Chains A and B, each alone.
Chain A
Amino acid sequence: MKFTIPRHWFATLAPFLGVLAVVLVFWILYPGQPMTLKTWQIVATHTVVVGLAAVGMTWVIISAGIDLSVGSVIALSGVSAALAVDAGWGAIGAITVALATGAVCGVYNGILIVGLRLPPFIATLGTMGFFRGVALWVANNGSVRPEDAQGISTTDGIANWVKNGSEGQWLPPAVWLLLIITILGALALRWTVLGRHTVAIGSNELTARLCGVQIKRTKIVIYAIAGLLAGLAGVMLFGRLTVGDSTAAVGIELKVIAAVVIGGASLSGGQGSISGTLAGALLMAVLSNRCTAAGWPDFVEHMIVGHIIILAVAIDQWRIRRTNH
């Protein structure tokens, strides 16, 4: 063995080292603008929406699938949450409706993929447009803003949950929720039958079938989980915006996929890490925050993020080639 650090340890740590590297580079360039505790709070809060959706996406990508519809599902669930609040169903009602919306969208994706045997890329490219259309339809081409007193107070309740604000609160509950979901997602991937089957399907679907894994059912459940988490992300987005915006989260699917890929997952399936994904999402949020703090224009951030994705995958490929020898 040439490596003293086992491969999986390096794979787990690499994205976190990436986060550290970004912080250090900016600290060297701009010593007057260090990452304070406050900045970390902001960054963590900004990671929530992408992070939640990315946990689900990691499962999908490990199963050798992809979900391009995640942005539309987030928007649609956000609108549904807003409608539920407007209808006076309270915070619990809003969350339930949003989660249900997300799960139904996910099941629909899953059924299209296994029922019509469509490549996931095509199926979710289609539903990306469809779910967005539904969101625009139910929101009358705009946003849903709860307006009566009860609605406003419910919205504020959810917003407080998602945003920084209250005194004596170190991190908003949404960040803790993201952490819990990440840990659950990671544990389930390693310790449950579903997790094992997800990896098996992504690595070699024929082998999985030979070994009696119920491919169709498993795939539908995976997409349903991804949808459910996108629904949760939708609630968080609603809390952040305080309106259900049917045009929100456009293009967020690429950020979500980027987080997963930076985190070490392979788009050809069979491997990926939930904690890595979280680090990937954090990396992008930190970078965005640092670029803003440094006063760099938006386009620079895009240019850097693009190359971080390229670099992450290149390093991974290089590492795999080395260990294969």
Chain B
Amino acid sequence: MKITLPFQKQAYAIFFVIILSLIRGVTYSDEIGIALEAPMAILALTFCADTYTQEITGRRSEIWRLYPMKKRIHSIYRRIVIQEIFLLAVAVISYGLFFLFQNPRTGQSGPGNEICQFLVYTAAIAVTLGFWGLMSNLLSCLLRNMWAGIGGCLVLWLTTNSSAGNRYLGAWNLFSYTFRDLENSRDFSWIYGKIVCICIGILAVAALPEIIEKRG
């Protein structure tokens, strides 16, 4: 916990969502998810990029080589899980901050729908955070450089979080939740994009041991 979540990391994540909820305007409550998904993806990819690369910059990776592979991987996964839980908590809090600072209009998709909307947001953002966290860690490990991992992920972020990305990938886009049709609350086709995130995330989890073994 002290290794993966030092005070400065916690502080910048919290400041990030406070500032975001202050400056990003929303009119209706169902826009909060749209306002949060892409910025939270950036937070996740910067947050998780040093999960393992801190061992390289701290010059501890040579000692890590001597540890059993199982232990090394287990430790990295544990770090990712701790960070993702923290980020999910931040994402949930930031949903509340939007209500606090922006005071959006509620009930536009039908009465009693707010809780359902919040639960859907939580599920979607959990997948988003997981995907971008895993991807940035994977790329950073592969390139043995945190900034390279962040840069690689930003390219993917810019590509998919764009009108072109939406046009070509549609419901299969990584940011399908952001580009969903707000007018049609019964349209859940954006789930395909989240399934893509889950599938790529699983591949990233599976590829990590191989990368750590080869790149060290």
Q: Are A and B part of the same complex?
A: no
